[in-house]
Chain A
């Protein structure tokens, strides 16, 4: 979406030879730092006049760590899953014009080149709107961001009246990307209309859903875009101060945002009289001590005030928020959208999406798929497209059973409904939520009751304990699931879980409790037969629930190699060398280590 000339300039750099290495939390975990060192060493050793350039992450996590080599005259080539030792070899071959080892090229110059990104489903089917710069520019360089059109949105917004800015966001139809999909303009308008000398805007970067990290990726890869959106929001409502709320557990995200804030201040995009508009505004990066409930607006405000726990709404933060002042809280991705809308215009944004929900959304696809990653697609894209075409579907021999959307507050959509177009309303009507956009693919090797138990355990641990339904109700729900998965449940327990879940959802204080029973309610809706199987036949169909499975050794396959007996931590396997071994059920801890140890596949779960 960048103009060709700008794109080329960024790809090749001023030296005409740029090697990109992604440095973000996810790529670092995959070993990018060692790769980075090797690239630097190789450049020195080969005496290349190349620029080793750190970028954020593209979101193609399955190929971490990757590098991209771009030398003028040759197409920029991406190499996925690079091992540090391969770096010199890759470089040499690229310089010889041999691109055969590359995963993809940015664009083809020759028909024999590896496929270009635009030919690959996982890139072609994406609409990289807010994530356009991710993996392309150096997140720590404000110049690079300005080069790609950065802060032009802010300039445009500051030349308009506040009402006009809000009008423009309204025209775009942008809805909050943090979960519920509340119209962004409406929050802004309410806060704008409040009469108060002091107003605040907060960027919510808490992102606690397990299996969702698109906000972290976006803020680590393109922090200025988020900041620009925040400044625009601050201008629109007439705020004096902004906060970026980040977890202390995500140090790189916080550091990069902090650097962005400092650079922007130096460049005159923050501080007194921004760009001669008379608008004063400053931003502070707030490092939260971490609690899932802080994703909820009032709990987030409480954290900044040095307290804990949410409170009953209304009053909504837009009228009475931080220290009792009007406060607008927007998600990281929402603000990045705001900046992009002001940079490239409303029409560019409304091209995508559905009638009711415009634009694009980043989804984080994990679990049983071949290509784990963060992908940006228009709102209203079919689940099928995302899971099968982009993420490559399940690994060989596995079958998708369900897709869990929206994390612990979301629900499971069964495989039969893969044609569903994902927008706020459709997901809600099927028992899930868009949430922050975490999408976990569950295959036939997973037990749905166990999945529900996992999420219930999560929200139970994260419940702040303030209101009764969430504090005690989730504990009881988790007890019921424990009973069912350990084979002592009854049919009544299933009904009780349903009733209790509905009651918790309706009567809890905040959104955490209001959505906490969703995983149970949605699995009960689509996978009731699995629950019934657990309580009636005392059997776990997926053979996951430890108390309902038994380990047996097939005498026909066992050669008596004693491998299993050696690994068994509880000494439950008996038998002498050369003889068929036996599992003593009363001692078996069902840890499954023997299953991995057996070289003949003689141990089975039944």
Chain B
């Protein structure tokens, strides 16, 4: 007989082996928590702190926290969402989101979790199916995809129309520089045209962003 314990995940009762971790119980009960660094059997160091849940009111990483008899596990809530979002934002703050040239684009758990948690800070390129030679910028079109906040499923580029930035610009200056150097400059997109497109929706276009784009990289 396998030694098991009884736990409650969001009120759902499940039985799991005594040596299981909280995440196993959560999955068994039919719930999911977002995970990033956890890879069962390979990496179980609990370093990303995205998979946090409440166990008896305490914030713990579900991937590494052992279950205990009668434990009450809560996987969703304002508090947890706040911690997950903060941690993900911190991670993104060290990450240059060059989704236009990233080979992980179609298989990126960072993107997946970001979408799940509704993180703003990713470019439209992250959702755009046009890559490589298909990308509108490589054809010289003034697409604002790399500078624009994602969340629209890249509807316009998807159908061949360059992004006009209707969802607003990204606030990270590093991405302005990357986009300018790696896309607009490289593919000789007309600076005047981009500037004109930017002014269309971005009435409050920051001077710095304008400078980065027009002067090609660093202002």
Tell me, yes or no, whether A binds B. yes
Chain A 314-329 near chain B by CB (<8 Å), digits 1 or 0: 1100000000000000
Question: Known contacts A312-B46, A467-B49, A469-B87; can you find 10 more A-B pairs with CB under 8 A?
Answer: A315-B66, A468-B47, A469-B49, A472-B93, A476-B90, A499-B86, A500-B86, A507-B59, A509-B47, A509-B61
19 A-B pairs with CB atoms under 8 Å apart are: A311-B45, A312-B61, A314-B65, A466-B45, A467-B46, A467-B47, A467-B48, A467-B49, A468-B87, A468-B90, A468-B91, A469-B49, A469-B86, A469-B87, A472-B90, A476-B90, A500-B86, A503-B86, A503-B87
Question: CA of A466 to CA of B64 in the docked complex: distance in angstroms?
Answer: 14
- 8 Å CB contact of B49 from A314, A315, A500, A507: A507
**Does B94 touch A at the CB level, under 8 Å?**
yes
Q: Identify the closest chain B residue to A472 (Cβ).
A: B90
Q: Is the CB of B90 within 8 A of A473?
A: yes
**Does B83 touch A at the CB level, under 8 Å?**
yes
Known: A314-B66, A500-B86. A506 touches B46 (CB 8 A): no
A-B pairs with CB below 8 Å: how many? 55
Q: Is the CB of A506 within 8 A of B47?
A: no
Residues of B close to A509: CB separation below 8 A: 46-47, 49, 61
Chain B 51-67 near chain A by CB (<8 Å), digits 1 or 0: 01000000101001110
Interface centre among A315, A507, A508 (most CB of B within 10 A): A507
Which residues 452-472 in A have Cβ within 8 Å of B in the complex? 466-469, 472
Residues of A close to B94: CB separation below 8 A: 472
Residues of B close to A469: CB separation below 8 A: 49, 86-87, 90
Question: CA of A506 to CA of B91 in the docked complex: distance in angstroms?
Answer: 17
**Does B82 touch A at the CB level, under 8 Å?**
yes
Q: Is the interface of B mostly helix, strand, loop or mixed?
A: mixed
Q: Hey, which bits of chain A sit against chain B, CB under 8 A?
A: 311-312, 314-315, 466-469, 472-473, 476, 499-500, 503, 506-509
Q: Identify the closest chain A residue to B37 (Cβ).
A: A468
Question: What is the size category of the interface that chain B forms with chain A?
Answer: 20 to 34
Residues of A close to B66: CB separation below 8 A: 314-315
* Nearest-Cβ distance from residue A474 to partner chain B, whole angstroms: 10
Q: Is the CB of A468 within 8 A of B46?
A: no
Residues of B close to A468: CB separation below 8 A: 47-49, 87, 90-91
Q: Is the CB of A476 within 8 A of B87?
A: no
Nearest first, the 4 closest Cβ-Cβ pairs linking A and B are: A503-B86, A472-B90, A312-B46, A312-B64
* Nearest-Cβ distance from residue A194 to partner chain B, whole angstroms: 16
Which residues 33-83 in B have Cβ within 8 Å of A in the complex? 45-49, 52, 59, 61, 64-66, 79, 82-83
Interface centre among A466, A469, A499 (most CB of B within 10 A): A469
Question: CA of A312 to CA of B93 in the docked complex: distance in angstroms?
Answer: 24
Q: Is the CB of B91 within 8 A of A472?
A: yes
Residues of B close to A500: CB separation below 8 A: 86
Residues of A close to B87: CB separation below 8 A: 468-469, 473, 503, 507
Q: Identify the closest chain B residue to A315 (Cβ).
A: B66
Question: CA of A476 to CA of B65 in the docked complex: distance in angstroms?
Answer: 27
Q: Is the CB of B47 within 8 A of A466?
A: yes
* Nearest-Cβ distance from residue A89 to partner chain B, whole angstroms: 63
Q: Identify the closest chain A residue to B59 (Cβ).
A: A506
Question: CA of A315 to CA of B83 in the docked complex: distance in angstroms?
Answer: 24
Question: CA of A250 to CA of B82 in the docked complex: distance in angstroms?
Answer: 42
Question: CA of A466 to CA of B52 in the docked complex: distance in angstroms?
Answer: 16
Question: CA of A508 to CA of B47 in the docked complex: distance in angstroms?
Answer: 8
Question: CA of A499 to CA of B86 in the docked complex: distance in angstroms?
Answer: 9
Known: A472-B94, A476-B93. A503 touches B83 (CB 8 A): yes
Question: CA of A468 to CA of B91 in the docked complex: distance in angstroms?
Answer: 7
Question: CA of A499 to CA of B90 in the docked complex: distance in angstroms?
Answer: 13
Residues of B close to A507: CB separation below 8 A: 49, 52, 59, 83, 86-87
Question: CA of A500 to CA of B49 in the docked complex: distance in angstroms?
Answer: 14
Q: Is the CB of A506 within 8 A of B83?
A: yes
Residues of A close to B61: CB separation below 8 A: 312, 509
Known: A503-B83, A506-B83, A507-B52. A312 touches B45 (CB 8 A): yes
